[in-house]
Amino acid sequence: MKTLFLVEKELYDGTQLRSLWAYLNHKIQGPSIVSWQGPCEVDFAHMVDGEDLNEGAAIRGSLMLHFVIELFGRDLAFAVALQRLFVAILKDELNQGAKILVKRPLVQRGDDLYWGQQKLSISIATVTPVSQMIHLAVNISNKGTPVKTCSLQDFKVSPKKLALKLMRLWSQEYDSILQATQKVRPVP
Amino acid sequence: MKTLFLVEKELYDGTQLRSLWAYLNHKIQGPSIVSWQGPCEVDFAHMVDGEDLNEGAAIRGSLMLHFVIELFGRDLAFAVALQRLFVAILKDELNQGAKILVKRPLVQRGDDLYWGQQKLSISIATVTPVSQMIHLAVNISNKGTPVKTCSLQDFKVSPKKLALKLMRLWSQEYDSILQATQKVRPVP
Amino acid sequence: MKTLFLVEKELYDGTQLRSLWAYLNHKIQGPSIVSWQGPCEVDFAHMVDGEDLNEGAAIRGSLMLHFVIELFGRDLAFAVALQRLFVAILKDELNQGAKILVKRPLVQRGDDLYWGQQKLSISIATVTPVSQMIHLAVNISNKGTPVKTCSLQDFKVSPKKLALKLMRLWSQEYDSILQATQKVRPVP
Amino acid sequence: MKTLFLVEKELYDGTQLRSLWAYLNHKIQGPSIVSWQGPCEVDFAHMVDGEDLNEGAAIRGSLMLHFVIELFGRDLAFAVALQRLFVAILKDELNQGAKILVKRPLVQRGDDLYWGQQKLSISIATVTPVSQMIHLAVNISNKGTPVKTCSLQDFKVSPKKLALKLMRLWSQEYDSILQATQKVRPVP
Amino acid sequence: MKTLFLVEKELYDGTQLRSLWAYLNHKIQGPSIVSWQGPCEVDFAHMVDGEDLNEGAAIRGSLMLHFVIELFGRDLAFAVALQRLFVAILKDELNQGAKILVKRPLVQRGDDLYWGQQKLSISIATVTPVSQMIHLAVNISNKGTPVKTCSLQDFKVSPKKLALKLMRLWSQEYDSILQATQKVRPVP
Amino acid sequence: MKTLFLVEKELYDGTQLRSLWAYLNHKIQGPSIVSWQGPCEVDFAHMVDGEDLNEGAAIRGSLMLHFVIELFGRDLAFAVALQRLFVAILKDELNQGAKILVKRPLVQRGDDLYWGQQKLSISIATVTPVSQMIHLAVNISNKGTPVKTCSLQDFKVSPKKLALKLMRLWSQEYDSILQATQKVRPVP
């Protein structure tokens, strides 16, 4: 899986969840993960999580660390399973790297990360007719978030360092998952 | 996903990786996870991991905690992703529950768990023509293992308690993954 | 499969054939069947049956009993096969329950039901990028239908009773189909 | 779907549920339904229905009308749905054609047909690694059956006539199902 | 696979790449190939090839021979493989049929045909939510093309004859591919 | 796709068509093509082509150039389409490289290559429960073949050079096909 960190800030408004977004905007073809920093503001028309739509939830933050993953030739169930693995790796990386989290670590519930009652991240996995996509965003700041949150600033974690490390780990994990599908004999 | 803990000890010899094993032997139909304690001894004919076959690896242990999962209507890639999620949940459960692991926690590499250089578990995900299956076994004792291992005895963890807790968490996680595939709108 | 009967009348205009319609409008998540009474008026832009589009057919009725089914993780061929099973169960239920039909029963042709030359129902099965959907509507009244029709009024059948009975039978049938995919050994 | 009626009697012993059976034994390639009369005797090693295996059921009859269907490029869920449609068509054909059944018709439960408590048929749907297969057998005689049964002799129905009619109806139904997957526009 | 040659000229503007185009416009249902002559002018909104979109390519020609293929129940990878087979058959047909090409034959690169540096054709394979589609267009004239091209006029090849021959060969090839999936036994 | 040429001669007896053959015997993991020279002798038990089984065909040759391809995560239809593309590339390579073939080129019929009435190659595409496999063998010598054949010796073509060139072209073609599935936008 290819990785790319965008140095320029960019608003995440949900339009990035569109097939070939990385290829058409950043020239990376094939399975990819792209990360950048920027505010988050997703209007109702671009919300894809039925839970958010049902609750009339707001999806926004003044500054978040974004990740957009695109896969090809898989299905939604696989994308959801990958999404949770991605969150698990993020959680471990933060819990191990931030001193403040050693005693009181982040906890994963489904595809969300919580620090006590404070929510750190938002995420969705969905499909296009030609690919599967995941968006995950981590609060860099708690400003502008619609619920009680925690953020990388609380943990004194550098967003860029985290992004680079996480994308490297994820790229290895993804390749290793594919390899695990190419080394096993069937059973009756 | 249904769960079942078998009170009687049983040897795991690889024949349990067979479609409908849980249904035909324990009358649980549909997606399921079954756990029991017993020795492990898989001969060459029942090894399905190409890596093991290539390395002429031995798969054995005098006492392990076994888990066999069966899914229906999915594919190998999904089974592999689930397998890694299952290992991640096992790891978190042990790291949080065993005092000795708080300072020096277990680390996940692919589908393996390590405590330093000591290996805790073995696992494989594969397919039958009608289902997808995962086997994971955790050392209860270090006796009889072919490599340097650690075990639940080292961590003073009750195998049965662990099994019951893990199966409960896993059953919730699995159901929640399926629900996440039934709440999202597509993107273009 | 979850079932829901809507007590309020609602126009079926084709916009109900949209992924997560039941979840976003009625909070039922997962495989579901929803039924209600209401007029039917589908304009050209919301017709999805190529046969209707080719023939410039009108799809309308002053009062029909509607059923909308949504499945997840299947394909169009499965949805079409289910659709015909659903029509078969509807046919049997009516033929057994309405005295007037004992001597001159309804006949199924593909996904249509006929009483002699009079058409009782309309139906379509299609896919969204995240699910599979079926719409079936039975005439409650013959008013406003574009072809020669029969209706539940002709058979003295209560729409609501029929809906509740049919949804119960269908929910059992659907669950039993899924179970039948989880109890069989493969052959070579 | 191609149809073939075998004039010579042949024992059904479960070995007919094998990929390409019709092609390798009767030179019919592609989706097919083959029918013949013959005894039925399936030993444990060739039973594929987990329910039968769990119950230690006997599968036998002195004379039955057999149908073996093979499909390509589909999945088990589709095969199970088709199996039930096939049983529904068989039921309707018998209920309409046999006078004795008009007042007291056959009833379908899942993939079984019953006349009161008497069982008329057995059936299974399963997969090979290259195709999907259905076996259905209808008692011609009640001799040699392990449970309380009814048979075509009870209904004074000619097995051959039934087979030819049913295969013709089924072939049309199957083709019409495939066509229904090639005439519909997607919805969002 | 059904074939149809349209005698009237028609502009190809990309709107033909839409599910059921052949069925809704020309009443041919199921897998089909339709051919006609006409100009080509695809605006940015109807371009589906990411490479073209990335390069800001122009897709146009004053007169081209068009082919639109639609398949059902397959995936994008299969459509791409078929697309290349189709181009290979076109190449062989031209290389054998046009004298000028015997010494200096057309060469295939991916899904493109070149005569030295001159490009003969454009092509794309994509999916709708209910089908898979291929468009291939061969220059009849070099007028109006945005790059250095060759054309059927250069080779003194009759577009209509070519279309009829190619569609006949392709229809046979497609049927033969499907048959090859219905004659093989699995391996372990 | 990885490529490997085996320098030692080896009999092809059909046992090479087995999942993970390249990985377990030659340590190449993932999509691969392996080539070697050796005799060919496939007994009835290892024949997988129903046509051969139906005709009681013999599959043998004293010396052939073998290719075994394994793919993962695809289906039989894709494997058959790839097989024909592979044969097309082989045909073009030979027709361009051997002088004797310029005037009287090899012709492809399905997955076979003929030089007039003389058959050059044999091939089959099939599936394992975890992968898809293709075997293609080209006569190096005409000795020992059961039908009228031609061979690389007739064309004065070096088997090893051909194998290396063909595997290089094929590896590029395969990668390019996968890329073509990761660059296209869907259509409605």
CA distances from C152 to C61, C94, C96, C158, C160 (A): 13, 9, 14, 7, 11
Q: Which residue of C has its CA nearest to D176?
A: C110
Average pLDDT, chain E: 97
Q: Give CA–CA dist F131/E74, Å, rounded.
A: 17
Distance from CA of F103 to the nearest CA of A (A): 42
Per-residue pLDDT at D103 exceeds 90: no
Show residues of chain E in contact with F80, CB under 8 Å: 177, 180-181
Answer for the pair F16, E186: CB distance below 8 angstroms, yes or no. no
Six token digits for residue C93: 């239920």
Query: How many percent of chain C have pLDDT more than 90?
Result: 98
Contact between B54 and F186 using a beta-carbon 8 Å cutoff: no
Contact between D126 and C177 using a beta-carbon 8 Å cutoff: no
D188: contact with F, CB 8 A cutoff: no
pTM, two decimals, is 0.97
Which amino acid makes up residue F8?
E
Closest in C24, C129, C130 to A54, CB measured: C24
pLDDT digits (tens, 9 = 90+) for B57-99: 999 999 999 999 999 999 999 999 999 999 999 999 999 999 9
Model confidence at B119, in pLDDT bands (50, 70, 90)?
A: very high
Per-residue pLDDT at A102 exceeds 90: no
Q: Give CA–CA dist D150/D119, Å, rounded.
A: 6
Mean pLDDT of D125-137: 98
Show residues of chain E in contact with D185, CB under 8 Å: 19-20, 130
Model confidence at D71, in pLDDT bands (50, 70, 90)?
A: very high
ipTM summary value: 0.96
Mean pLDDT of B11-22: 98
CA distances from F148 to A169, F94, F115, F124, F139 (A): 57, 19, 10, 19, 11
E56: contact with C, CB 8 A cutoff: no
Per-position DSSP letters for C82-117, written without gaps between them? HHHHHHHHHHHHHHHH-HHHHHS--EEETTEEEETT
Six token digits for residue B26: 């324990």
Distance from CA of F156 to the nearest CA of D (A): 39
Closest in D23, D73, D129 to F77, CB measured: D73
Show residues of chain C in contact with A75, CB under 8 Å: 73
Per-residue pLDDT at C152 exceeds 90: yes
Show residues of chain B in contact with A50, CB under 8 Å: 183-185
**Which of E10-14, F56-60, F132-136 has the weakest average pLDDT?**
F56-60
F contact test, residue of E46, E111, E187 with most F CBs within 10 A: E187
Answer for the pair D113, D91: CB distance below 8 angstroms, yes or no. yes
Contact between B78 and A78 using a beta-carbon 8 Å cutoff: yes
Which of the other chains make 3 or more beta carbon contacts under 8 angstroms with chain F?
Answer: A, B, D, E
Per-residue pLDDT at A103 exceeds 90: no
Average pLDDT, chain B: 97
Closest in A29, A73, A186 to F129, CB measured: A186
Cβ neighbours of residue A159 under 8 Å, at least 6 residues apart?
Answer: A37, A65, A138, A140, A152
Distance from CA of D73 to the nearest CA of F (A): 8
Answer for the pair A126, B185: CB distance below 8 angstroms, yes or no. yes
pLDDT digits (tens, 9 = 90+) for A152-185: 999 999 999 999 999 999 999 999 999 999 999 9
Contact between E182 and D29 using a beta-carbon 8 Å cutoff: yes
F contact test, residue of D20, D126, D128 with most F CBs within 10 A: D20
Closest in D54, D75, D77 to B24, CB measured: D54
C5: contact with B, CB 8 A cutoff: no
Six token digits for residue D90: 């068989």
**Per-residue confidence (pLDDT) for residue F103, from 0 to 100:** 86
Packing angle, helices D76-97 and D159-180, rounded to 10: 130
Per-residue pLDDT at E103 exceeds 90: no
Mean pLDDT of D5-33: 98
CB-count exposure of residue D42 (10 Å: 0-12, 13-18, 19+): buried
Q: Where are the alpha helices (DSSP H) in chain D?
A: 21-26, 50-55, 76-97, 99-103, 152-155, 159-180
